[in-house]
Amino acid sequence: MACHASIDKKGGAHDAIVGWGDQIFSTISQKMNELTDFDTIKQIIDATIEEDCYVEECPAGRVRQSNPYFISESNGCGSFGYQWKKDLLPDEGLEDCCNVHDHCYDECGADKDICDLEFKTCLYSVCKSRKHEWTVNELKACKGAAKLMYTATQAFGCKAYQNAQKKACRCVGVSHQDL
């Protein structure tokens, strides 16, 4: 059941968006307190600060290839222990966008910026598809949630992308036939 039914006419989109924002920041704060690995926190912060999100290069004489043993997985909307609850999303279709986004990050050599733009397009498409079914406030709430989700990916997605690329790719030696 989608959350849009619980948006009342008085509180409207603003209250729904503020509620989702509170949920995000409260959960992030709680998860950061639970993290005992200072290096992980530092890596997330460092990756957030960087303008570009780079993946580790292969050592000289080796090239990046898809890891044949890696199986792409999706976990809905979230990473590093934070999950958007599906029943609190304005539309359950938003979770499908998150799963596609996870699989995009899991493709060896994927471009993070392209994955993120496709994610944004998907999120807004879900909201737009409900345009004739929802009130103006419900539509605003969906677009607000989509914006928060996309912005969170921009702010905190680098480390998740780097981790996914590390699993999806492997460095292999170049054969003499390839030279």
The catalytic site residues sit at 101, 116
- Its sign, for the CA torsion 165, 166, 167, 168, is positive
Query: What is the Cα–Cα distance from 19 to 90, expressed in whole angstroms?
Result: 12
Strands 78-79 and 62-66: unpaired
Q: Which amino acid is at 90?
A: P
Query: What is the Cα–Cα distance from 89 to 96, expressed in whole angstroms?
Result: 11
Helices and strands in the chain, H and E counts: 5, 4
Query: What is the Cα–Cα distance from 74 to 140, expressed in whole angstroms?
Result: 27
DSSP assignment string, 100-122: HHHHHHTSTT--HHHHHHHHHHH
